[in-house]
Structure 1
Amino acid sequence: MSVEQPESTAPPEGSVEESSSDPSRRAFIASTAVVGGAVVTSGLAVGPSVFGAEAAAAAEAAPTSRVSLSVNGRRHTVTVDNRTSLLDLLREHLDLTGSKKGCNAGACGACTVLVDGRRVNSCLTLAVRLDGAEITTVEGLAKGERLHPLQQAFIDQDAFQCGFCTPGQIMSGVGCVQEGHTGSPEEIREFRSGNICRCGCYVKIVRAVEQAAHGK
């Protein structure tokens, strides 16, 4: 009497059996997708990176301060992010765009203004540190239709070309005159060396400062 042997269920040679409890790599990849910034893996949705969420939360909770200061003789009280520079306060909050954002790193002098009579790079100066300060920008130099002597000297000496650096050059020159650093062309150049003119008008700029300081 013959006994029929059960049919073998072993996988063909060279094949890999897939277990329902241990899905294959292909099945795993197929079940993983990235949709709209969320990762969906085997039915589990994971939202955007927790690091991105933390950054967004930090931006929303950025500390602010109330600052009161005088700009060109007019008192302003504003609430700003504590990281706001004086340059951004002037340009973005007070709409005084004469001070230019050049390098935004204190290397070109295009943003020079006077704070309590002293020259500063406004891009490197935090607005929150200036509560009660007196700020003078290029917009505050002229008296009505009468230009400041240095503004007039820049015109007389043709001391500008593209004009982008001119507001910072003029403000630095005003500070230089007030500080008494105008004894010679060499001294003027030394004490204004932080102001860059990419058009190369340095000789005429020095002459303009001399004219404003000594009436030459």
Structure 2
Amino acid sequence: MNTPHAAHRIGAHALLLATAFWATGCGYDTPNATTPSRSESQMIEDALQQREQFWTELDQVQDIIGGEWERHDNPLADFCEDAEHKKYLYSGARLRSEPLPDPVATGKRLRTYWEEQGYTVTEQSFTKNHRNAVAENGNGRQIILETKTLAGVTQTALFAETGCFTGDVGVIAHYLAQAVRASQAADPPSPSPEP
């Protein structure tokens, strides 16, 4: 998100994730890795469902806006402001590859959609070249559509965070990191063409 807490959250998340890797044997392919208990398995299953629902909602917002998008969602759970690290959230960012043809009409469509979904919508503008539509629900979920013009180029982005879910962020982040590494190992990047 575009908040002062995002950098703190990312740094703290990296520290927490590194600690989780160290404490559990540092990876999915180590002999020290263990199978999660049933309660951990259920917690992980819930976390995967919540992430999928979140990404699906962002996909729906993208579809309403239209156009081509770059997806920069964080596949890992992030910690909430919780001293015991028993709550987590997900964050996402999507960048539209071309300017919106009609930002006002798009904003109206999104406002209608979000209000139908139970969100409260506020609009913000910091300069004549910047607009935000901020949708928030009672569960702490926030989705921001940002349009700004820099050096004559209009950019459109979605930034979003879920509200906090209950679950051990260390266990969940560790599991998700293992899944990401396994996915990357199964689908290595294509080699660059030789000149």
Alignment TM-score, normalising by the size of structure 1: 0.20
Tell which structure's C-alpha radius of gyration is larger.
Answer: 1
Q: Which structure has the highest helix share of the two?
A: 2
Q: Which structure has the highest strand share of the two?
A: 2
Alignment TM-score, normalising by the size of structure 2: 0.21
